[in-house]
Each structure stands twice: as C-alpha cells, then as structure tokens.
Structure 1
C-alpha cells in the first residue's frame, strides 16, 4: 500500500487466532490492519503468513485478504495440500461470503454487480472499472439489514479480483464504510476500519475429502 500518509502498524493482540489446525491445513481469523503476506521492506514483513511460518516452516498461502479486510483465511501445511486447495480456488469450488456495512440504503434486496476491473496505475493501490481492458468480475449481494441510513449486506464474489468487493460496492453507489480508498469522506469517518469481513469459507479437506465450513463472527 502506498498512500502518502500510510503507516503500517499491525495489531499484535492476539498474535494469531487459529480456528482449526491439523497436519494439512491451518484456518485463521485475520484481523483488519494485518497484511496477508509480507510487503516490501523489513518494516512490512509482519503479516499473517510470516507469523504462521515462524512456528510452521512449511506453511504456504493459497489465497489472500486485503490489508484492511478481516476474516477467514486457510493456509496449507504441505505441498500436496497447497496444490489441492489452490485448485479448488482456481476452479471456484470453494464457497465463501463476506459481510459488509455500506453507505446508504441499498434499494434491491439482492442483485449482482458485473463490471470488469483493472488496477488504476496512476493511483495505485486503487482499482477501477474499465470496460475495455478490465478483467471480468462478478459479485452477488444480498441485503441482511438496513441500519440507520446504512445497509448490512452479504457479498458473494464469483470471481476473485483485487479490491473487487470494494470497487463493486462503490460502483453500485454504496461504498463500504471505513474504506480509506473508496468511501466518501463521511463514510471514511464513520468507522475506524474497513467494514468488510470474510465471514464464511467452505472447501474440501485436501487429504480426507471431507466438506468443511468455517465461520467467523463479524466484528462490526
């Protein structure tokens, strides 16, 4: 992240929140403000992956969450598990949903945003809608509650582009509250963090073939 006023100060308590662990996988609850993987430079080394790998040398990342997004991540603890779970993500065989609090009252109880996305190079790390050069991106949403002029929604990303949920909600006219990149000034001031949380993740265990579902409580 390269915002001029950005200072990386990741939370340290708790150091790690482990939801499940066995010989093949570890499932964690990442806090907002912690990188999924190390960034550039020693000052950006601290991350969920780095913390896990301090005690589990073979752990590898199979998917990521944005710095400001909290919630469920799974890591593989051996190469066969990594291949198996990575394939599930690539083939869209996992099920996941996020919870977000967005600005304004979303009119439709459910719907979808189907807009192609690309990195906004002059304004990195922002992304933007680009109908000519963007990659196909699809998000489905469902209203959970309308709360005091804002809306709590469940977001179901069909594709997995960087900043997809954040840009799609902005494009819908309802940016996510607390978003330092895409919210309105009032929306940024309304919460101390990005109100986006990876709430549930389902996938198949790489060794046993068991269907697994993990859920994390929404912290906002």
Structure 2
C-alpha cells in the first residue's frame, strides 16, 4: 500500500493542504480555472498573484502525486495541493518559551505573553508551534488545547499522533483541572468566591466573544487572593478556575463582573495595539494544570514558573 505523499517540514513550517473541488460541485472553477495557479489566485483573493507565482517558481507548491506545481500545471478535480505559508516580513517577538516537561508523548511549555501558539494571520515563524518544531526537529508536535496570544503560562502539546487523542479526550471530557491567576480591578461590593456562568457565542468583531441570553455554556469560579490600594486605584489578584473551555471565557466573565483583567485589549472594549507594542501585557497567567495521565495512569501537575506582580 502506497503512503500518501506529503512534503516535508521546512524550517519548522509544515505544509498547508488545500483540496481542489470537483467542477460539478463548484462550477465557477470550471469557467475560470484551467490551471492550479488559476485556482490558487481565485481561492485566496487576499494573496496576490505575484506571491503564488513566486512560490511556484521557488518550488514550494506540490501536487499530491509528489510533483512540483509549475506555471502550467492543469487543474485536477478532487486532488490536493500542498504549499508553505510564509510572510514577506515578520516582526520578531522578543520572548522565549521554557520547556517544563517532555517525554515520548507529551510536551509541556511555559508560554510567554504576546507569542501566538499556532501560525495565524501575521505570524508564522513567530509562533510557539513553529519555534518548537524547529527546536526539537519534530513535525508531529500538535497543541492539545488553546491559549490566547495575550495569555502566558502552561501549554500542552502532543508529540505522538498515535496517543494524541488520549490527551485531547481529557479536555473534551473536562477531566483536566486548570488554574489561572489574574490581576484586575477590585470591587468591594462583590462577595467572593463567585461562581459565574453565561451563554457565550462569537461576537463582533469576529475575533471576540459575547454573552447572550440562553442556557449557560461557560462556567468559572473566581476567588479573591489579595488587594492593593495605590494612588487611588484598587487592584486585586484573583484565582480563576474555568470549568469549561470557551474561547476568551475568563476575560469575558471578568469584564461582565465589572472587573476586566488589567491591560485586556478586547474586553470590555476593543483597543487595538501594534503587534510590536509589548508595554502592557495582559495580566492573565495559565498558572497550573493537572490531570490523570492517560498513558501512565498517574496524577500529574504542571506549574508555570512565571508570576504576576500586583
């Protein structure tokens, strides 16, 4: 049995795959696409034709047969092509992650603020995943859960495709204990601990979340650790326990309580900053994570070496 072709990882970047649909399923391609280059230009209008031409000339686009795509390669319905994501210019992010634990199956990393976990938008080489693939020379590294670019702390990766689902299932079944720490405003009218819940959905802008009426699908326990009063401002350190895993859950819940996390650029209102503005990191830290390891069946706990200073 032949192994399906897939181009190798290059400089820590695994190839992206795109399917060429049948012409009956998407007849628009039948009119406008006779070559793979035609398809790529139409499929990705946000990427200039010059970029695709340069990638093809640089031999960075492959057919699933293993052949390189050239300027005249014919469009083949129901086939696949592979290409490497790259950016003309990418700002270096001057913060490094620390490896906390590694065995044959699991990699635990202490992620800094500002570093995205996976390649997305403006970041490819400057993502934690690509950096780790380069450092460990391992293409099979895959994140097991999410952590925002703005958030620092403990992040788990799978190293083995054969055992990845065991760890992913822990998160799906809520068998993972997660503890976060945050610094935010203090309200003396709130009685802690607070058990907060709401119904969260995608918001506007598209990269935010919002709360709407409906059955709760996000749950957080919030504990007050200590309070400081300085120059007329009251800030507090909180311990946060997300009992569900919605995107931006802790940030949304804290803002909804009137105590938004310090330096949050999205909640309660979006305040976009330059990518290279590192002056005010979000004061949210994924501090600790624990579970029964599905391979060893032993309880494990991993803790960040970072701290938030109140």
What residue ranges of structure 2 are gaps of 5+ in the alignment? 1-89, 274-278
What's the offset of the Cα at 1:52?
1.4
Question: 1:178 and 1:9, CA in 2 relative to 1: closer, same or farther beyond 3 A?
Answer: farther
Contact 2:179–2:286 (8 Å) recurs in 1: yes
Once the two structures are superposed, the pairs formed by residues 62-211 of structure 1 within 5 Å of their partners are 62-105=144-187, 107-121=190-204, 123-132=205-214, 136-148=217-229, 149-183=234-268, 192-211=280-299
Task: Quote the residue 2:99 is aligned against.
Answer: 18
The number of residues matched between the two structures is 204
What's the offset of the Cα at 1:214?
0.7
Is 1:44 the counterpart of 2:123? The answer is yes
* SS in structure 1 of the partner of residue 157 of structure 2: strand
Task: Please give the per-residue CA displacement for 1:83-130, whole angstroms capped at 9, x wherever unaligned.
Answer: 111000000001111000011235322011111111113x22121111
* SS in structure 2 of the partner of residue 116 of structure 1: strand
Task: Quote the residue 1:61 is aligned against.
Answer: 143
Task: Please give the per-residue CA displacement for 1:146-201, whole angstroms capped at 9, x wherever unaligned.
Answer: 1221111111111100110001000011000010111579xx9xx71100000000
Question: 1:152 and 1:183, CA in 2 relative to 1: closer, same or farther beyond 3 A?
Answer: farther
Distance 2:178 2:92 in 1: 25
Say which one has the larger Rg.
2
Contact 1:175–1:184 (8 Å) recurs in 2: no
Distance 1:130 1:158 in 2: 19
Distance 1:10 1:74 in 2: 23
Contact 1:144–1:153 (8 Å) recurs in 2: yes
- Aligned CA RMSD, in angstroms, stands at 2.1
* SS in structure 1 of the partner of residue 171 of structure 2: helix
Please, what TM-score do these two structures have when normalized by structure 2? Answer: 0.62
Please, what TM-score do these two structures have when normalized by structure 1? Answer: 0.85
* SS in structure 2 of the partner of residue 167 of structure 1: helix
Contact 1:137–1:160 (8 Å) recurs in 2: yes
Distance 1:105 1:11 in 2: 35
Distance 1:146 1:164 in 2: 23
Question: 1:140 and 1:126, CA in 2 relative to 1: closer, same or farther beyond 3 A?
Answer: same
* SS in structure 2 of the partner of residue 192 of structure 1: coil
